[in-house]
Amino acid sequence: MKSLKLSLMALVLIGGISGALVNRIQAAPKPLDPTYNWLGGGVEDNGRTVAQAQMDYGCTGTSSLCATGKPTSGSGQDAHIYFDSTK
């Protein structure tokens, strides 16, 4: 019974680590993803994609501005990420 518990705990741990790794890989920049220098809440986050900035700042909503990103190269438009404020 003890070895069954240990096996289940090991599987849960492996599942958690695998899930975190998949999230990091998914958020990693692709060669054609634009990168921005972000500023939000007085914190800078340079050379990051929109997905990376969302993870770094913890903002994935639609209602309140969380951070603004200026393109790292060229003269493209600024990017914005938002969060959902709770009342």
Percent of the chain with pLDDT over 70: 91
- Domain with 76, as residue range(s), is 2-83
DSSP-H helix ranges across 1-87: 2-27, 50-57
Percent of the chain with pLDDT over 90: 34
Take residue 55 and report the two structure tokens written for it: 């993870």
Does residue 87 surpass a pLDDT of 50? no
Does residue 70 surpass a pLDDT of 90? yes
Structural domain total, the chain? 1
The two most distant CA atoms of the chain are separated, in Å, by 63
Interstrand relation of 36-40 and 43-48 (parallel, antiparallel or unpaired): antiparallel
Give the mean pLDDT of 7-30: 78
